[in-house]
């Protein structure tokens, strides 16, 4: 009996350690904290899959409930309270812009006639998860509003599984056009020459796409002056870029999960995930993907050698066994802003693009920075050598990481100087 009392706890400890531990690059700081965070996230994914398999709840809705429950448990326990109302002089209001739910953050009123900055923000979450009203997104937007005297508008666009592309994009574009109208800018005392659009991950995708649309819209009397993109996801043609391969098993955005997010967003059967992982969906047999279009996502040309290393392109000559399916949104620049032509890119606003070394989306951001620069756009490329996907929003207890605070400070400093 005594032996069992010793052995059982030891075995449980070994089992937990085995589940939690994953090998991480030495450059990632606070590795065990990231492992614990990832273990919790993986557990949530496993439970959601079980709920979905049992027919009790949709996979995504189950994840939402779990994360919302966790946020509710930790709310107010850390150094920053993320409730509604007024904080640090910032007024928070939940209203709609042309029918789209938004949360507005207004800094303390300045002197008579003083105009303020404006910023529209789109949260990340794979077009399926997240909300700008909760957690660190809410905190970040309060900080931007307070520190930079900025009216921030966070958009609650619709998500999968309730909708697919292009609905989230159209929600964001509709809200952006309303925000940029002279009447709304005047109402909130915003300088029309100092309005930004921003977002992280899938939100960075939406921000880039909306910035492009507004920049080429001849009817838009006011346009975004800058775009700030945090590790944006920008293309779905190549899931074998060096960063997709290097970081396929780095938390918290695994390669398989990112491809799944794309399939969900574009309304593709999830059973085709293995085909997309090997680039079968973008084979040379796909006549609509012209050589010129492929050049816009050609990492062998667009990436510096230090990121290409010894990787070779994965190009499928002909889709295997005819399993490639037509996906209307695959080549749509509203879904994949990296596919936009140079004429469109040239009209875009100045850009800040933050990328992380240990992120499957690293090369998407680096290629976009290069293409914008080639088109004549001024770009600030901020690369975090020890960064990983999601770190930008990991700034609050119990998931506050030093690399996340660095990422946020870089973002705030750039906005302070450029907006």
**What are the pLDDT digits (tens) for 234-244?**
999 999 999 99
pLDDT of the residue at 15: 53
pLDDT range class, residue 85, cuts 50, 70, 90: very low
pLDDT of the residue at 77: 46
Spatial CA neighbour of 38 closest among 26, 52, 21, 50? 21
pLDDT of the residue at 86: 45
pLDDT of the residue at 66: 82
Q: Residue 411 above 90 pLDDT?
A: yes
DSSP letters along 364-400, please?
A: HHHHHHHHHHHTT--EEEEEEEEEETTGGG-EETTEE
Question: Residues spanned by CATH 3.40.50.1820 within the chain?
Answer: 86-235+341-418
Q: Name the class of domain 86-235+341-418.
A: alpha beta
Instruction: Cite the active site residues.
Output: 201, 359, 389
CA atoms within 13 A on the CB side of 134: 17
For residue 354, CA distances in Å to 202, 383, 397 come to 14, 6, 23
pLDDT of the residue at 87: 57
Place of tokens 């070779």: 312
pLDDT of the residue at 117: 98
d(CA 204, CA 220): 21
Mapped onto helix, strand or coil, the DSSP state of residue 245 is: helix
């Amino acid at each position: 009996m005594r032996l069992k009392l010793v052995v059982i706890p030891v075995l449980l400890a070994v089992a937990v350690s085995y589940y939690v531990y994953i090998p991480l690059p030495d450059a990632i700081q606070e590795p065990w904290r990231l492992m614990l965070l990832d273990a919790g996230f993986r557990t949530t994914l496993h439970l959601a899959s079980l709920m979905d398999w049992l027919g009790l709840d949709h996979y995504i809705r189950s994840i939402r409930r779990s994360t919302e429950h966790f946020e509710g448990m930790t709310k107010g326990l850390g150094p920053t309270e993320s409730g509604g109302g007024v904080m640090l002089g910032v007024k928070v209001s939940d209203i709609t812009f042309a029918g789209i739910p938004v949360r507005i953050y207004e800094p303390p009123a300045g002197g008579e006639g003083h105009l303020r900055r404006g910023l529209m923000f789109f949260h990340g979450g794979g077009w399926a998860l997240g909300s700008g009203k909760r957690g660190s997104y809410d905190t970040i937007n309060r900080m931007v509003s307070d520190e930079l005297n900025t009216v921030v508008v966070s958009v609650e666009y619709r998500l999968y599984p309730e909708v697919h592309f292009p609905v989230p994009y159209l929600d964001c574009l509709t809200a952006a056009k309303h925000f940029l109208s002279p009447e709304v800018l005047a109402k909130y005392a915003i300088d029309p020459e100092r309005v930004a659009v921003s977002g992280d991950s899938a939100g960075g995708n939406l921000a880039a796409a909306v910035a492009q649309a507004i920049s080429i819209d001849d009817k838009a009397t006011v346009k975004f002056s800058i775009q700030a993109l945090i590790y944006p996801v920008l293309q779905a043609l190549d899931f074998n870029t060096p960063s997709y391969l290097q970081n396929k098993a780095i938390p918290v955005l695994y390669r398989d999960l990112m491809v799944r997010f794309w399939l969900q967003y574009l309304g593709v059967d999830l059973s085709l995930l293995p085909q997309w992982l090997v680039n079968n969906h973008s084979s040379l047999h796909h006549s609509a993907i012209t050589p010129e279009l492929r050049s816009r996502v050609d990492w062998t040309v667009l990436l510096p050698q230090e990121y290409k290393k010894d990787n070779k392109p994965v190009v499928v000559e002909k889709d295997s066994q005819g399993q490639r399916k037509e996906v209307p949104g695959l080549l749509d620049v509203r879904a994949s802003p990296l596919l936009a032509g140079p004429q469109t890119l040239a009209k875009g606003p100045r850009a800040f693009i933050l990328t992380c070394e240990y992120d499957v989306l690293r090369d998407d951001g680096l290629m976009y920075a290069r293409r914008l620069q080639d088109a004549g756009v001024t770009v600030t490329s901020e690369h975090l050598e020890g960064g990983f996907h999601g770190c930008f929003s990991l700034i609050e207890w119990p998931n506050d990481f030093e690399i996340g605070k660095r990422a946020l400070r870089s973002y705030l400093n750039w906005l302070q100087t450029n907006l």
